[in-house]
Amino acid sequence: MLKKGTKLYSIINRKCPHCHEGEFLVSRNPYDLSVVGDLLKECSVCHRKYEPEPGFYYGGMYVSYALAVAQSVTTYVAVTVLAPATSQTTRLVWVLGVLVLSAPALYAWSKALWANLFIDYKGVERQPGEDPKWLA
């Protein structure tokens, strides 16, 4: 299930969506806040571009929003089930705390997920007739 060549492998490991070998983000650590969410211009292995057009990753904001909502609902339900005597304020603090702590990771994964929605796995070698918008 998590073999190279699957979109899930590329998303979870934040690897190049084209070849699944090169790095996707500038830093592997999503909590390196000086470069959080910054992409490399191209893959260091297959040398394909990550951004076919300006503004390509704006759609990743919707993915990030969906991930944050899912995580918030999950946190709220978990706190409600595990500690039913807690107040709504306590539950809200838990939801906000988990959301703030996980925001950089959600942001990094949302960009990887967005890229994998539109970029197919091609392998390291250039394919004949490959779309030139991806070539560096």
Domain membership of residue 115 (yes or no) is yes
Do the beta carbons of residue 24 and residue 14 sit within 8 Å?
A: yes
Per-residue pLDDT of the chain (136 residues; tens, 9 = 90+): 678 888 999 999 999 999 999 999 999 898 998 998 888 999 999 989 988 888 899 998 999 999 999 999 999 999 999 999 999 999 999 999 999 999 999 999 999 999 999 988 888 887 777 777 777 6
Residue 65's pLDDT is 95
Is 19 a member of any domain?
Answer: yes
How many domains, in total, are found in the chain?
A: 1
- Distance (Å, whole) CA 9 – CA 1: 8
Question: Structural domain of residue 35, as residue ranges?
Answer: 7-134
> Do the domain assignments include residue 2?
no
| Residue at 120 is within a domain | yes
- Report CA dihedral (51, 132, 118, 65) to the nearest 10 degrees: 20
Domain presence at residue 94: yes
The two tokens of residue 59 are 């759609």
Q: What is the pLDDT of residue 136?
A: 62
* Domain contains 122: yes
* Within a domain: 45: yes
Spatial contact of 24 and 128, defined as CB atoms under 8 Å apart:
no
pLDDT, residue 128, reads: 76
DSSP label at residue 53: S
Of residues 17, 3, 47, the one with CA closest to residue 109 = 17
Instruction: Give me the DSSP letters along 95-126.
Output: HHHHHHHHHHHHHHHHHHHHHHHH-----SSP
Q: Is residue 1 part of a domain?
A: no
The span from the CA of 75 to the CA of 83, in Å, is 12
